Amino acid sequence: MNVNSVKLNDQTIAIEENRVPPTEKPVVRSGKLRHLLNAFEARTWRNIVIGIPYIWMLLLFFLPFLYVFKISLAESIMARPPFSTLFTWVGDAQVSINLVFDNYLLLLQDALYTTAYLNSLKIAFVATLICLIIGYIMAYGIARAQPTMRNILLLLVILPFWTSFLLRVYAWMGLLANHGIINNLLLAIGLIDKPIQMMYTNFAMYVVFVYSFLPFMILPLYANLEKLDATLDEASADLGAKPVTTFLTITLPLSVPGIIAGCMLVFIPAVGEFVIPTLVGGPDSLMIGRMLFDEFFANRDWPVASAVAVVLLILLVFPFMLYKHFSAKQEERSP
Amino acid sequence: MKPLEEKPWDTQPWLDKHKKPFLEIRGVTKKFGDFTAVNNVSLEIYKSELFCLLGGSGCGKTTLLRVLAGFETPTEGKIFIDGVDVTELPPYERPVNMMFQSYAIFPHMSVEKNIAYGLKRERLPKAEIRSRVEDVLELVQMSPFAKRKPHQLSGGQQQRVALARALVKQPKILLLDEPLAALDRNLREETQFELMNIQDKLGITFIVVTHDQKEAMTLSTRIAVMNKGQFVEIGTPTDIYEYPQSRFTANFIGSINIFEGVVKEDRLDSHVVRCEDTECDLLIDRDSSIHAGESVWVAIRPEKINVSKEEPADHHFNTVRGKILDFGYLGNLSVYNVELDSGKIVKASAPNRNRISKHRVDWDDIVYLSWEAANTVVLSG
Amino acid sequence: MNSKRNYYLLIGMGFGFAFLYIPIILLMLFSFNKAKTTTTWSSFSLRWYQVLFENDAIINAALISLRIAVISATVATIVGVLAGIALVRFGKFKGKTFFSGLMVAPMIMPEVITGLSLLLFFVALEDLLGWPDGRGMTTIALAHITFCIAFVAVIIQSRLQGMNEDLEEAAMDLGGRPVRVLFDITLPLIAPAMISGWLLSFTMSLDDVILASFVSGPGSTTLPLVIFSKVKLGVSPDINALATIIIGIVTVGVFGAGWLMNKKEKAYQRDIQMAVAANK
């Protein structure tokens, strides 16, 4: 280690010759007060940043929901507000709690509600499945396109998403109506001789659901597929796998997180969807979002509407928890 | 100018008992949940030192640096800089600055603005800011690039900006987190010496975190080797390389051969050690802490081993026979892996002083390895 | 790559894009139809645009919607940015799990439930405090902000996670106090995410039917509400005209933003290449 000792000698010489004493910084003021002020500043800052969104969401999201939960346990009465109170003061320091589970019992007993719940789940599930098939093909195609094309194709997928949801549903009303474009076209070709009833059927619901939610499926799938190394495909082919085998054994398993994310993004909002069933759904395609709306506005039955909401949320929490559980496991696995 | 009469502590202040340390770390512990990143370390660093924290990833060196910078508050312990307790001070109140491994150059500000940022926070007059920025740009030879945006700079230039930005604040201590790790190998060596020159010129205390032992050896006045959140050894590069205390340090810095044995005999100026792996006994220099009957580890660096095909004349001690298992030609030197009869593999290396057209040894050749007792080290743990 | 497979994929994508775009294109096409039908073409005319602009209810609703959207997007961006910073930069704090749950919940919660609970809450609040005084723009904006905060927070969160914390630490190391660092470093660097968050909130507010159905009042009919009530009765060519205008604005906006970003990115890449070349 000769180098080092030489260097040390050089250093002493250099110090003698051209060391400029560094200008002293003002001495750091130290002391209890200073520490306190610093801690106070840091803490206040944290409290503000956390506090504002926290209080906002507590007040305008959590509290209202608790209130809905409370009302769902009350009785419908003709008053303003049109429900009974849960807590009544009885004499001194005595509270009688008046919980009513009738609203929930009603949901169980009335076939209309159970049908609506099941129907919502069924329609959302089928729509999610169709979205997955179409979305997968498109996401895969975009991910495997030329890099310069990818962004343009992606933009084309996102573009309808930025235009109004309502207007996208509306676009199909003109297509599916009895005297709509599709029927007119089929009549003109001579394939049919009287219009097919498409509007206000389950068929219309599926078409419009898939159309409206497709971008939500494509985006997470694409994000996942794009990250997959294309050389994995090549490695698989190099090891003798046919394209179909490569897809089934390499690409598909690796895209499971994207599939799950996409399905969640479609399924969850689809269950509670209100606009589509109202505009294109028929009398036989009852969905719970619409039921809730009608219960509240048409029947003015707040407690039942609240109970409908609570049950709907419970139905949705389950798949979401499943998703959370799965994505947490995924994260654990990837370093 | 002739250097004045030197005392050893002019360059090695840690040897002077009366000198006050500039930075004092007293029993600092940092825990993250159950994980103890830094475990009760104490250290004194003196003014104008270039001190290296050396260790593998996850040894706690970066955490310690972040504690010094004020990004982490120690779970226990205190830190004093120039006699002032700074343990509770936030980063923006501390008289230390840090050069980040990623350089952390603000991408939305020009080189000039990046460097002026810290001075503006001190509310200095505009003229002073301008002149200090100019000076420091000059110092790191970046004056022509003052108006550039960070993404228009090469890696080496970004490194200089990061250095300048920290230096311009005239910190009492400059903390450097792997300052050279992101550079190409060629640039790294060049920059190493530049860093030393700048430190020399300004006399600022540098604390460098690195995982690269070569870098630590060339740069520093002293090195602290860290493992599992603790200091294994603190010393000058020469001390650490030539006289490592522990097996960890010996293995971590350079390569070394370690023989386990029992002290057979204490002599006047040496000890004789019996080792299972070698036919002959090992001779080591006299060490007052060693006594007959004790187990010891005897270590010898590969370059201090003499490799020869002929049996040395005096082969009573420190001579072993083995066959060449592997050898490698590295240009300036050749390295050999020699398998002893006991199965132990010994590493040896020899400089190629003469041009060789043909390898002097071949696989399975029998060779003799020998070394001087003075070149061995006894490791304690 | 296998060309046959490529071919199938191309056909699949072609059908997919046709499915996405044909309805929109037909919708736009029939806005120029002279007849009062949106299904059979007669001749080109701008008649429905005129009808649209003479419809005061629609124009007023559009103005109300725009005002609500600007306010909602702005407030949601501010609160969402704070939430994003709290989620990524503050490590653990008391109630963080609940906090992060609260921040994503509105995205999962069906809008009918959010709308219903907000309406019931506003009514109760009015009975209790006398505020808000009936339903109107304020309540709609509050509902939209609450809904949009979640989306902004998620966008900011992912941007901050991708951003090196070193930059903020470096600024602090150089003497920047926390608030200073926020304005000097964090905000400029997350500006693109803030813009996306704002735009997303703006469009969501402009597009919302469900929340507005619950919390709007008599004097505060938003554009989607007008469209919704009109469309429930069937198709009408002036809605096609309105859709064409909205889609036109969005298309120009999205492609314009894309083009600008592309240009910036290219200049950036060129600079990096030059810096690397200069170093050799």
Number of neighbouring beta carbons within 10 Å of residue C55: 16
pLDDT at site A21: 40
> Dihedral through CA A12, CA A18, CA A19, CA A20, nearest 10?
170
Handedness of CA C15, C19, C24, C30 (dihedral sign): positive
pLDDT at site C236: 85
> Do residues B230 and B324 share a domain?
no
Mutation choice for B interface testing from A9, A32, A34, A35 by most B CBs within 10 A = A35
Residues of A in contact with C206 (CB under 8 A): 164
Give yes or no for residue C203 having a pLDDT over 70: yes
CB C33 within 8 A of CB C237: yes
Q: Does A46 touch chain B (CB under 8 A)?
A: no
CA distance A241 to A256: 20
Task: Determine, yes or no, domain membership for B2.
Answer: no
Chain A neighbours (≥3 Cβ pairs under 8 A) are B, C
C24 → closest Cβ in A45, A160, A275 = A160
B106 to C175: CB separation less than 8 angstroms, yes or no: no
Q: How far is A280 from chain C (nearest CA, A)?
A: 9
Taking only the tens place, the pLDDT of each residue in C18-64 is 999 999 999 999 899 888 877 778 888 888 999 999 999 999 999 99
Mean pLDDT of chain A: 81
> Could you tell me the CATH number of the domain that includes residue C230?
1.10.3720.10
Q: What pTM does this model have?
A: 0.84
Give yes or no for residue A3 having a pLDDT over 60: no
Task: Determine, yes or no, domain membership for C26.
Answer: no
pLDDT at site C172: 93
> Could you tell me the CATH number of the domain that includes residue B64?
3.40.50.300
Q: What band does B380 get if pLDDT is binned at 50, 70 and 90? A: confident
B93 to A28: CB separation less than 8 angstroms, yes or no: yes
> Do residues B324 and B231 share a domain?
no
Task: Determine, yes or no, domain membership for C41.
Answer: no
C255 to A211: CB separation less than 8 angstroms, yes or no: no
Give yes or no for residue C205 having a pLDDT over 60: yes
Chain B with chain C: Cβ pairs closer than 8 A: 79
Task: Determine, yes or no, domain membership for C191.
Answer: yes
> Do residues B218 and B91 share a domain?
yes
pLDDT at site A19: 36
Task: Give the mean model confidence (pLDDT) for residues C104-119.
Answer: 90
Domain boundary among B230, B249, B268: B249
CA distance C262 to A226: 19
Q: In terms of residue numbers, what domain contains C180?
A: 56-279
Give yes or no for a cis peptide into A81 (omega within 30° of 0): yes
Task: Determine, yes or no, domain membership for B108.
Answer: no
> Do residues B281 and B356 share a domain?
yes
Q: What band does B182 get if pLDDT is binned at 50, 70 and 90? A: confident
Task: Determine, yes or no, domain membership for B235.
Answer: yes
Mean pLDDT of chain C: 89
DSSP class of B374: G
Domain boundary among B249, B279, B298: B249
Q: Domain spans of chain A?
A: 110-300
Chain C neighbours (≥3 Cβ pairs under 8 A) are A, B
Taking only the tens place, the pLDDT of each residue in C121-152 is 998 898 888 888 888 899 999 999 999 999 99
Domain count, chain C: 1
Residues of B in contact with A30 (CB under 8 A): 84-86, 89
Residues of B in contact with C180 (CB under 8 A): 121
Task: Determine, yes or no, domain membership for B125.
Answer: no
> Do residues B226 and B343 share a domain?
no
**Strand pairing class (B173-177; B96-99):** parallel
Residues of B in contact with C169 (CB under 8 A): 69, 71, 91, 98, 100, 104
Task: Give the mean model confidence (pLDDT) for residues C263-276.
Answer: 80
B104 → closest Cβ in C167, C176, C279 = C167
- Give the percent of chain A with pLDDT over 90: 30
Task: Give the mean model confidence (pLDDT) for residues A297-318.
Answer: 88
A170 to C116: CB separation less than 8 angstroms, yes or no: no
Q: What band does A81 get if pLDDT is binned at 50, 70 and 90? A: low
C112 to A141: CB separation less than 8 angstroms, yes or no: no
Backbone angles phi, psi at A46, to 5 degrees: -60, -45
> Do residues B194 and B331 share a domain?
no
> Could you tell me the CATH number of the domain that includes residue B274?
2.40.50.140
- A110-300 CATH choice from 1.10.30.50, 3.90.1170.10, 1.10.3720.10, 1.20.1340.10: 1.10.3720.10
Q: Does A88 touch chain C (CB under 8 A)?
A: no
A170 to C227: CB separation less than 8 angstroms, yes or no: yes
Task: Determine, yes or no, domain membership for C261.
Answer: yes
Give yes or no for a cis peptide into B144 (omega within 30° of 0): no
Residues of B in contact with A22 (CB under 8 A): 170, 202-204
Number of neighbouring beta carbons within 10 Å of residue B374: 10
Task: Determine, yes or no, domain membership for B137.
Answer: no
Residues of C in contact with A287 (CB under 8 A): none
C189 to B157: CB separation less than 8 angstroms, yes or no: no
Q: Residue C196's Cα: distance from chain center in Å?
A: 8
Task: Determine, yes or no, domain membership for B152.
Answer: no
Q: How far is C279 from chain B (nearest CA, A)?
A: 6
Taking only the tens place, the pLDDT of each residue in C216-244 is 988 889 999 999 999 988 888 889 999 99
> Do residues B221 and B360 share a domain?
no
CA distance C103 to C83: 8
- Give the percent of chain A with pLDDT over 70: 80
> Do residues B47 and B181 share a domain?
yes
> Do residues B295 and B183 share a domain?
no
ipTM of the complex: 0.90
Residues of C in contact with B159 (CB under 8 A): none
Task: Determine, yes or no, domain membership for B166.
Answer: no
> Do residues B220 and B268 share a domain?
no
Mean pLDDT of chain B: 89
pLDDT at site B10: 62
Taking only the tens place, the pLDDT of each residue in B157-169 is 999 999 999 999 9
DSSP class of A24: P
Task: Determine, yes or no, domain membership for B118.
Answer: no
Domain boundary among B212, B233, B249: B249
Residues of C in contact with B105 (CB under 8 A): 170
> Do residues B274 and B339 share a domain?
yes
Give yes or no for residue C262 having a pLDDT over 90: no
Q: Which of these, B245, B215, B241, lies nearest to B61 by C-alpha position?
A: B215
Q: Does A195 touch chain C (CB under 8 A)?
A: no
Task: Determine, yes or no, domain membership for C165.
Answer: yes
Q: Which residue has the tokens 């490569």?
A: A246
Q: What band does C279 get if pLDDT is binned at 50, 70 and 90? A: low
Residues of B in contact with A16 (CB under 8 A): 1, 3-4
C173 to B155: CB separation less than 8 angstroms, yes or no: no
CA distance B160 to A310: 61
Task: Determine, yes or no, domain membership for C42.
Answer: no
Taking only the tens place, the pLDDT of each residue in A117-139 is 999 999 999 999 999 999 999 99
- HEC per residue, B63-117: HHHHHHHCCCCCCEEEEEECCEECCCCCHHHCCEEEECCCCCCCCCCCHHHHHHH
Task: Determine, yes or no, domain membership for C227.
Answer: yes
CB B264 within 8 A of CB B98: no
Task: Determine, yes or no, domain membership for C25.
Answer: no
Q: In terms of residue numbers, what domain contains B345?
A: 255-379
> Do residues B236 and B360 share a domain?
no
Q: How far is C199 from chain B (nearest CA, A)?
A: 23
Q: What band does A286 get if pLDDT is binned at 50, 70 and 90? A: confident
Sheet holding B23-32, edge to edge: B35-45, B23-32, B76-81, B84-85
pLDDT at site B138: 94
